[in-house]
Amino acid sequence: MSTTTLAAAPAAATDAELLRAAADHARRHDTASLLGALLPGLDGVELRALTDRCRFAHTALLVFPPDADALHALLAGAGLAAREAPRPSTVVRERLAARHGRDAAGLEVGILRPAVTGAGGEGRVVEVFALAVPPGSGLDELAAHERALQHEAHLGFEVVRPDPLVLRGLCALLDRHGARPDGGGYNPHEDGTVLYFTVPAGAKAGCPRIELYAPGDHRELLAEHLARHRAGQPAEVLLRQLTGAWTTQALGAFAELGVPEAMDAQEPRSAEQLAAAVGADAETLRSLLRYLAMLGTVVQDGGGFRLAPAGELLRAEAAGSLRPLSLLYAGPFYRSFGELAGTVRTGRVAFDRLFGENHFDHFARDPRLAELFDRSMAAGSRMFDPLPGHPVVRAAAAASAAGAPRTVVDLAGGTGELLARLLTAHPALRGVLLERPRVAAAARTFLDGAGCGGRVECRAGGFADVPPGGDVYLLSRVLHDWDDERCREILRHLAAAMPPHADLLVVERLLPDDDSPSLATAWDLHMRCNVGGRERTAGHYARLFADAGLELAGHEPLPLDARVLHVRKSAS
């Protein structure tokens, strides 16, 4: 029987005929021949890469029996035997509901996977989605439409040893050959992630869709896949963008109530248990958790919820905790972002207009906000990971170890997170940290706790007090806080204090020179609205350095979309 029966069945085709064709297809085809037919243009290397990483696992279709007995009769007629009860299909149920404008709760869709044997003896299944259509259910028109067009028919390939890198590579290869994202989902009932693609024009496999099935929870990649799918649906894209404020507040409330601390990453807990632990209303908390499950912050597991890796970062004591950042973004910065139109209209900083002072002074007046801000700066500390290995730092450390002491000067270095990393990695180096008095005192405590306080002098002062005579100067996430004129002033103070041999390392996010996506683009808007600064391109920074008698020697990538800019005193 031809494979075209799966994709182009006549309107009069019965469920029994379609099921027999699907079973025959699953028995007769192999991975390499199907991929070659589905993706015309694959070369030998690409085909080998695909066949090494995924295998043809099933042929799938949707049938519409009135009840369970009729479903088993259909399977028997196709020579198939189901040994287990159907499992719920959340993915197909949601797709049907969206396609036909129905409530998903009213669509009872199950999955059965009767086994078949492939031509080479391989174990395969026929993936049978069954939507129950009892007499009088009002679903006959939906069933007739789906039976004729076979939207849910597909060829499934299971990814072998899935990890994010492999999955992204497979998706990129499919995209390169014309397969386009067509939805997908995570099925908690079997802990599997499904990525659907439409087959490219010219495909000869006779089926409209490809499925990549990855065992496990890969919802971060799934979100990227669904976003690409929605790119052609402007109304949904815009609606999700308009509700972005809800996400900020949901994450902030989750952190503020202490729910992450009451949850576990392994064992699910019910909404009632969590509400009792944090003093919340159980039904409203359940609604919040369902929303966060959709975002991938928590995982809905049976009747309870457990923390996803992203949610664990909202715990107060988590390494690199983002909890302080979530409270700032859902708190004072959320309020000032509500005045963004005024900033765009006038160029004035909304935060200053709303609170009557800049955010540094405002936070300094409130001990809780001051602590939140200091801790939030550590949230991005992962971008510092490569800096101890930077050639400038290694050269200074080598000279210091050889008996020529070298000093690292961290300007506005917060509580000393970056300086501590450099000094811990290189015990021969010494350090100086310059900060406001309150922060300098906190830095002393942090650096002592990190075991390098004996090699650091913490000084209280401003940018006019840059310590002279250092060998390596650090300016991390400082310049983006200020406008160009204030940056020039800071850099001139720095250039006056730097000896001719000294190096300056500047850590910032760089705006791209083209339209490529970057976190810097979002942060640029934040800085203008809430802080009074801005993000800049590498060329813009080079001009600011030149105005202060400095020159940009180069820049290298850091995690979290940051860069480290290497700056020297100008030779002229």
Which of 178, 170, 159 lies closest to 40, judged by CA?
178
User: What values do phi and psi take at 500, rounded to 5?
Assistant: -55, -30
The Cβ of residue 263 has, within 10 Å, a number of other Cβ atoms equal to 27
The residue behind tokens 């790119």 is: 231
- Burial of 545 (C-beta count, 10 Å sphere; 0-12/13-18/19+): buried
Catalytic residue of the set 229, 480, 526, 555? 480
Cα-based distances in Å from 90 to 185, 194, 440, 559: 8, 11, 54, 36
CB-CB contact of 231 with 308 (8 Å): no
Cα separation, 217 vs 247, in Å, equals: 21
DSSP for 463-507, written as a single string: GGGPPTT-SEEEEES-GGGS-HHHHHHHHHHHHHHS-TT-EEEEE
480 has catalytic annotation: yes
Given this model, what pLDDT does residue 498 score?
Answer: 97
Q: Which residues contact 569 (CB under 8 A, 6 or more apart)?
A: 495, 498, 500, 502, 549, 550, 551
CB-CB contact of 505 with 473 (8 Å): yes
Strand ranges for 417-569 from DSSP E: 430-435, 456-460, 472-476, 503-508, 550-558, 562-569
The Cβ of residue 267 has, within 10 Å, a number of other Cβ atoms equal to 9
Sign of the CA dihedral running 246, 248, 249, 252:
positive
CB-CB contact of 531 with 542 (8 Å): no
- Could you report how far apart the first and last alpha carbons of the chain are, in Å? 80
Helix (H) or strand (E) holding 157: strand 154-159
Which of 307, 325, 308 lies closest to 316, judged by CA?
325
Cα separation, 140 vs 142, in Å, equals: 5
Model-level pTM? Answer: 0.61
Q: Which residues contact 139 (CB under 8 A, 6 or more apart)?
A: 64, 107, 131, 133
HSE of 528, CA atoms in CB hemisphere, 13 A: 17
Which of 482, 476, 477 lies closest to 532, judged by CA?
482
Set out the domains of the chain in order of their start, with CATH numbers.
4-235 (3.10.180.10), 243-323 (1.10.10.10), 335-377 (no CATH), 380-569 (3.40.50.150)
Instruction: Give me 535's structure tokens.
Output: 């993000």
Cα separation, 493 vs 569, in Å, equals: 12
CB-CB contact of 147 with 22 (8 Å): no
Cα-based distances in Å from 236 to 94, 229, 394, 447, 515: 15, 11, 50, 49, 23
Cα separation, 154 vs 59, in Å, equals: 6
Cα separation, 222 vs 183, in Å, equals: 9
Cα separation, 294 vs 329, in Å, equals: 20
- Burial of 36 (C-beta count, 10 Å sphere; 0-12/13-18/19+): middle
**Angle (deg, nearest 10), helices 282-295 and 244-256:** 120
pLDDT in tens, the chain (572 residues): 333 335 444 445 788 998 999 999 999 888 998 898 888 888 888 888 889 999 999 999 999 999 999 999 999 999 998 778 888 888 888 888 888 888 888 898 999 999 999 888 889 999 999 999 999 888 988 988 888 888 889 999 999 888 888 888 888 888 888 888 888 888 888 889 999 998 887 787 678 889 999 999 998 888 888 877 766 566 766 777 788 899 999 999 999 999 999 998 889 999 999 999 999 999 999 999 999 988 888 988 888 999 988 899 999 988 878 999 999 999 999 999 999 999 999 999 999 999 999 998 898 888 888 888 878 876 667 788 899 999 999 999 999 999 999 999 999 998 899 999 999 999 999 999 999 998 999 999 999 999 999 999 999 999 999 999 999 999 999 999 999 999 999 999 999 999 999 999 999 999 988 766 788 888 999 999 999 999 999 999 999 999 999 999 999 988 888 999 999 999 86
Q: Which residues of 300-338 are buried (b: 16+ CB within 10 A; e: fewer)?
A: bbeebbbbbebbbbbbeeeeebbbbbbbbbbbbbbebbe
**Angle (deg, nearest 10), helices 417-425 and 391-401:** 50
**Tally of residues, the chain:** 572
Instruction: Give me 525's structure tokens.
Output: 């808007």
Sign of the CA dihedral running 261, 265, 270, 271:
positive
